[in-house]
Each structure stands twice: as structure tokens, then as C-alpha cells.
Amino acid sequence: MGEAVQRNGAGRVDGGRAGGAKTGAAFRIVMAAGLLLTLAVNLPGQMTFDSVVSLTEARTGIRQTWAPAISSGILRPFDGLLAGTGLYVTASAALLFLSLMSLPRLRPRTAWTAVVVGGFLILTPQLLIYQGIVWRDVLFANLAIAGFVMLAHASEHWTARPPVLPLAGALVCLALAAIVRQNGLILVAMAAVALGWTVRAGGWRRSLAWGLGGFIAAVLLAAGFNQLALPSEIPEALRKDVGFRILEHYDIVGAQAHHPTLKLKEIAKADPEAAAYLQAHSAQIYSPSRIDTLDNDPVLGRSLWKTPATAISAQWRHIVIHTPAAYLLQRADVFRWTFLTPNLEMCLPVAAGVSGAPGMLKDLGLTGGVDRQAQGVVEYAQHFYRTPVYSHLFWAVAALGVIGLLIRRRDPADWVFIALMTGALGFAASFAVISVACDYRYLYLLDLAAMVGLIYTALDPPRPRRA
């Protein structure tokens, strides 16, 4: 492509560093323009109820929800420097786009296909709009992508002396990602596998030491970050494992709805009336699209929450072990909605404007509602609703395609992106067990990872290795 060529430490032709390549420069310009465009469209940030709660927690130092504390912990310093979410949104989006801008340095050349593919993907709602929404799902995805890109740089330029800065950056990003989303540990595990594979030439002991050591270091660092992020005041009700109990409630009601003859014997031992009510009304209240419908029946809600936690847990385990068909039907139905989103509009495909509890909005000095610009954001996203762009299945197939192409070439950085695609697919699969709603953002990482994989592949399309 007319690029200057030099050899890197590993002896591979590397023109991505030359800086004079027109295509490399064009790619970076497109990515930089994408960052500016998404900020122009979204600043100071689109906010939903969860976003407002996180900002309230960050500003007051009082725990507001059982969601990971790091969400508000990361918001806190940005809000302290410049009140609101504008600086946070800018930093989060910049983390992703700067990672993308660094991709040409991983390849010996940059093809114009990467400029075209990258330019198109910037115009999708997942990049143009989602990067401006104050959701921890977006932050998690950006941290994970940045961590793997840094690890790819480390693997591509690994010599006798490991590259400290990209490894440290990857460790920090992946440790933060692991506590932004509880199941983000899957990505840490895949990054550890990629790290071990990078040093495999030194023997299996060295490979195991690096992989296991990297995993343990990330977990310990994540624990430290989590401790630092905890608000100074935590209400007693939020000290308990409320999140898992909510999942148990959903699975019990869902299993009862899918298996009407199921007997809730463990709950009946503690509260016969609660068990009888759940057995009689679960089918009418339950929805596989989201857990919120359980709140539509106050009596059902009281029946669940007044039952001792030990009885609820015992009933959940009894269903999983003794009536697995009911449990698997429940989980399969919920995952079908989460992964396939059969009715996309019910799954919060986009968010714009500011919405939240009136009291919180007032305390934060925010004005709720959807202005003309925010309405334009919604209307723009709607043009993609019935296209593959809004399909997790499509992006899963794309991720598998990226894996297939990179396995043909098998350069050092390729293995890291294979690990990223595999981790994103595994992360999505984990929602078969933990999902309680079909919100599109929950699998945002899958879409974004596939997009990054496509861009990386388009930079220098793989060719079969010569024998």
C-alpha cells in the first residue's frame, strides 16, 4: 500500500508504525472523527434511571443499589472535576476510539477496506449512540476492548523483556471490567489464556505461570478497586445478596409458569399461603422478556419477599436438581429473549434524554425529558431496528467468522483477538443462567467485540499461510 517498511523485534515486516501510510492516516482520521461525532450527538450524556441512580450514589457517597459500586466509583472523580456526566462520557468513548486508532500498529499494512468498514460501523447506533449513554454495560465493553487491544500490542512486540506498559494497561482495564459487570471475569480468564499462549515458546511451565499469574493479579487488583469504590455509607438492606435472591424469585416463578403442576414444597414448609398463591398466579404474571412484571401483582411480591431467604434458596435448588426440565425451560425462554430479542422495542434498544426519579433529578440539578436532539437520536436508531445491525445473533456469527479468519493466519496479536471473540461469546452465553430481562445493552459487549474484530481483520485481511 505504499507504506514504509521496517522490521520489528520479532523479525516480522511491520509498516504500521511508519506513520506515512495514507490508509493508516485515513483510518485514524475516521476514528477520530467518529469520536468527535459521537460526542457531538450525545454530550453531556444520555441518562436512564440506572444512570441517575449511579450519579446520585457517586455524589452523595450513599449506596443506592446492589449493582456494582464501581459504576458510581468511576463516575465520582469525573463528576468532581466537572459536574455531570459529560467528562465521564468523553473519557469512556475516548478509551474505545483511541484503542481503535492504535490497531494499524498491529499490522504490517492498512487496507482501505478498514477505512470503509470502520466508517460504516461508526454510523451504527452501537457506536454513534451507545457510546454516549451512561450505562455500565458500555463502560464494561470499552474497558474490555481496551484491555485486549493493549494485550495484543504486548503480544505483538514481546521480546526477551516483556512490554511493561501495555501489560499494565491491560491489567488495569480488565480488572476494572471484571467488577463493572459481575460476569466480566469470563473476559479476564480468556485474557489470561491469551497471555499464557503468547509465551508458549518458553515451555508449558512459563506459559502456565504467566497465564495463571495474570489472572490472579487481575482478580486481586479488581478486589482492591472494588474496595476503594464502595460508598462510605451502605444501608443494611443492600449489604445482603439481594441480586441473587431476585434471580431466584424469577426462576421460581418462571419454572412454575412453564410447569403448572410443579409443587413449591420448600416454600410451603415456611409459608403455605405464599406457596399456594405462587402456584395459582405465576403463569398470569410471568413474562420471559423481563422480571419487572412480577411487580404488577403486589400480593405475589409480598409472597416472595416475606418468605425466608433460606426457604427461597432451598426451593430454587430443589427445582434445579429435581425438576431440571422446568428450570431449563425457564432459562431457555429468558435467554431466547435476551439473545434474539424477538420484540426489539420491548428490550430498550436505545436511550435518549434524561429519565429518573423526580427527587433524584432535582437533587442532581438535572432536567428530565427528551429534547429535540434526543428525539432525533431515537429516530435515527429506529432506522436500524429491523436490520442485522440490531441482532446479537448476527454479531455472534460475525465474531465466529473473525475467529475462523484469524486462525488461518495465527500471528501473535491474532490469538488475542481470537480470545476476545471467544470471551465475548462466552460472556453472552452466561446470560442463559443469569438474565432477568431482555435489555439490548446486556449483550453490548458481543456486538462491540465483533465490530472491533471486523475492523482488525479488515486492516490486513488474512491470507492462508504458506507451507
| Amino acid making up residue 116 | V
- What's the rounded Cα separation, in Å, for the pair 299 and 296? 9
pLDDT at 39: 97
Higher pLDDT among residues 447 and 63, named by residue: 447
Angle between helices 164-180 and 136-156 (to 10 degrees): 160
User: Region 77-87: what's the mean pLDDT?
Assistant: 95
Q: How many residues does the chain have?
A: 467
Higher pLDDT among residues 21 and 455, named by residue: 455
pLDDT at 9: 39
Identify whether 44 is preceded by a cis peptide bond (ω within 30 of 0).
yes
Which tens digit of pLDDT belongs to each residue from 149-164? Answer: 999 999 998 887 899 9
Which tens digit of pLDDT belongs to each residue from 10-39? Answer: 434 444 444 447 899 999 999 999 999 999
- 466 pLDDT exceeds 60? no
Host H or E run for residue 215: helix 204-229
Number of H helices and number of E strands within the chain? Answer: 21, 2
Give the list of residues 6+ apart from residue 241 with CB closer than 8 angstroms, or none.
none
Determine the Cα angle at 423 with ends 420 and 424, to 5°. 85
Structural contact between residues 140 and 445, judged by C-beta atoms closer than 8 angstroms? yes
CB atoms within 10 A of CB 182: 12
Which tens digit of pLDDT belongs to each residue from 363-414? Answer: 999 999 999 999 999 999 999 999 999 999 999 999 999 999 999 999 999 9
Which tens digit of pLDDT belongs to each residue from 173-206? Answer: 999 999 999 899 999 999 999 999 999 988 999 9
Lowest-confidence segment of 57-61, 216-220, 236-240, 414-418 by average pLDDT = 236-240
| pLDDT band (50, 70, 90) for residue 68 | confident
Determine the Cα angle at 95 with ends 120 and 155, to 5°. 95
Which tens digit of pLDDT belongs to each residue from 259-305? Answer: 999 999 999 999 999 999 999 999 999 999 999 999 999 999 999 99
- What's the rounded Cα separation, in Å, for the pair 380 and 24? 30
Structural contact between residues 179 and 230, judged by C-beta atoms closer than 8 angstroms? no
CA nearest neighbour of 432 among 329, 312, 326: 329
**Which residue has cell 480468564?**
189
| pLDDT band (50, 70, 90) for residue 63 | confident
Which tens digit of pLDDT belongs to each residue from 105-129? Answer: 999 999 999 999 999 999 999 999 9
